[in-house]
C-alpha cells in the first residue's frame, strides 16, 4: 500500500529565513505528488503538484518542490518565509493516471517567528 | 468563481443521533470526494464519486456511514447512530479531471 511520511511534526523558522519541509513516499511506481496547505479553520489549498517532466515544480505563494526519484522524496521549499506562511502543510500522493483518492502525510505544522 | 461549499460549518450532536453533512462542489466538476480529518488518524479518504459511475466506498469506516450524490452535483454524507469517535472535521473536495482536488472549508462534527 502506498504511504507518505512527513518526518517533521513541527518546524519553527524566523521570518525571512528559508524553509524546507520533507516528504517521503512509498509506492510501487512514481505517483502523482501534491503539497497542500491548511490555515487554521480553513480547508486545504493546493500549493503545487507533480505529474511528470521537470522535477522542479513551481507553485503558488513562492513555493517550489523537487521530485527526487532515487530518494522517493518530494520536499517543499521557500527561499524566504513570510509570517502569513504559518500553517499546516500536507504532502499527498495518488496513483499515477488518476487522483481518485489522495493518501496524505501526517502534516507539518509551521510556526514563523517575527 | 465559487469554490466548494459545505454546510453546516459546525455541528454538535448527541451520541446516537443521525447527522447529515452537505457538500456543494464547484460547478462542472464531475468528481467529488469526502475525507475525514481527526487528531488521531490524520486525513482519511472516505468515499469518491465520479460522474454516473458506482461510488468508491472503500474508505467508509463502518456501515453507519453512507453518502449519496444527487444529479451529479450536491452530495450528502450521513452518519447514523453517531459515536464519540466520529468527532472530526469532514472535508469535501471536487475535481474536474480527477487530478487536482479542490477542498471545501469542512464541517466540524462534535459528538457529545
Neighbours of B1 (CB within 10 A): 5
What is the predicted pLDDT for the residue at A56?
96
From residue A28, give the alpha-carbon distance in Å to each of A1, A8, A84, B79, B104.
9, 24, 36, 34, 30
What is the predicted pLDDT for the residue at B36?
96
B contact test, residue of A31, A43, A53, A104 with most B CBs within 10 A: A43
From residue B83, give the alpha-carbon distance in Å to each of B14, B41, B48, B60.
8, 16, 23, 15
Residue stretches of chain A with pLDDT short of 50: none
Q: What is the pLDDT along chain B (112 residues), one digit of tens a residue?
A: 589 999 999 999 999 999 999 999 999 999 999 999 998 778 999 999 988 888 999 999 999 999 999 887 999 999 999 999 999 999 999 998 767 899 999 999 999 9
What is the predicted pLDDT for the residue at B2?
82
What is the predicted pLDDT for the residue at B41?
77
Instruction: Round the CA-based radius of gyration of chain A to a whole number and report it.
Output: 13
* Contact between B81 and B65 (Cβ < 8 Å): no
Neighbours of B69 (CB within 10 A): 19
Instruction: Round the CA-based radius of gyration of chain B to a whole number and report it.
Output: 13
Q: How far apart are CA B85 and CA A69, in angstroms?
A: 38
Residue with grid cell 452518519, as numbered in its chain: B79
What is the predicted pLDDT for the residue at A98?
64
| Cell matching residue A63 | 513555493
What is the predicted pLDDT for the residue at A99?
57
Please tell me if residue A84 touches chain B, with a CB cutoff of 8 Å: no
Classify residue A47 as left (phi > 0), alpha (psi -120 to 50) or beta: alpha
Q: Which of A99, A100, A106 sits opposite B56 (nearest CB)?
A: A100
The 3-class SS string of B46-82 reads: EEEEECCCCCECCCCCCCCEEEEECCCCCEEEEECCC
Rounded to 5 degrees, what angle do the CA atoms A19, A79, A42 make?
60
A contact test, residue of B35, B37, B39, B43 with most A CBs within 10 A: B43
Q: For A104, what's the count of Cα atoms within 13 Å in the CB-facing half-sphere?
A: 23
B chain contacts of residue A44, beta-carbon cutoff 8 Å: 91, 93, 103
What is the predicted pLDDT for the residue at A88?
96
What is the predicted pLDDT for the residue at A29?
78
Amino acid at each position: 500500500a502506498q504511504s507518505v511520511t512527513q518526518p517533521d511534526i513541527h518546524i519553527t523558522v524566523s521570518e525571512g529565513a528559508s524553509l524546507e519541509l520533507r516528504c517521503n513516499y512509498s509506492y510501487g511506481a512514481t505517483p502523482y505528488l501534491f503539497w497542500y496547505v491548511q490555515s487554521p479553520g480553513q480547508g486545504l489549498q493546493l500549493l503545487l503538484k507533480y505529474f511528470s517532466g521537470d522535477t522542479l515544480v513551481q507553485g503558488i505563494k513562492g513555493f517550489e518542490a523537487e521530485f527526487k526519484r532515487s530518494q522517493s522524496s518530494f520536499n517543499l521549499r521557500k527561499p524566504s518565509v513570510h509570517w502569513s506562511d504559518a500553517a499546516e502543510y500536507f504532502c499527498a500522493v495518488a496513483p499515477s493516471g488518476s487522483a481518485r483518492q489522495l493518501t496524505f502525510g501526517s502534516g507539518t505544522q509551521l510556526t514563523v517567528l517575527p | 468563481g465559487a469554490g466548494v461549499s459545505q454546510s453546516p460549518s459546525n455541528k454538535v450532536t448527541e451520541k446516537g443521533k443521525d447527522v447529515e453533512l452537505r457538500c456543494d462542489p464547484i460547478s462542472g466538476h464531475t468528481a467529488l470526494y469526502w475525507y475525514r480529518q481527526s487528531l488521531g488518524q490524520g486525513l482519511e479518504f472516505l468515499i469518491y464519486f465520479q460522474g454516473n459511475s458506482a461510488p468508491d466506498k472503500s474508505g467508509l469506516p463502518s456501515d453507519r456511514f453512507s453518502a449519496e450524490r444527487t444529479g451529479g452535483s450536491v452530495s450528502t454524507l450521513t452518519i447514523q447512530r453517531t459515536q464519540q469517535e466520529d468527532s472530526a472535521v469532514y472535508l469535501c473536495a471536487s475535481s474536474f479531471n480527477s487530478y487536482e482536488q479542490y477542498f471545501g472549508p469542512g464541517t466540524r462534527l462534535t459528538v457529545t
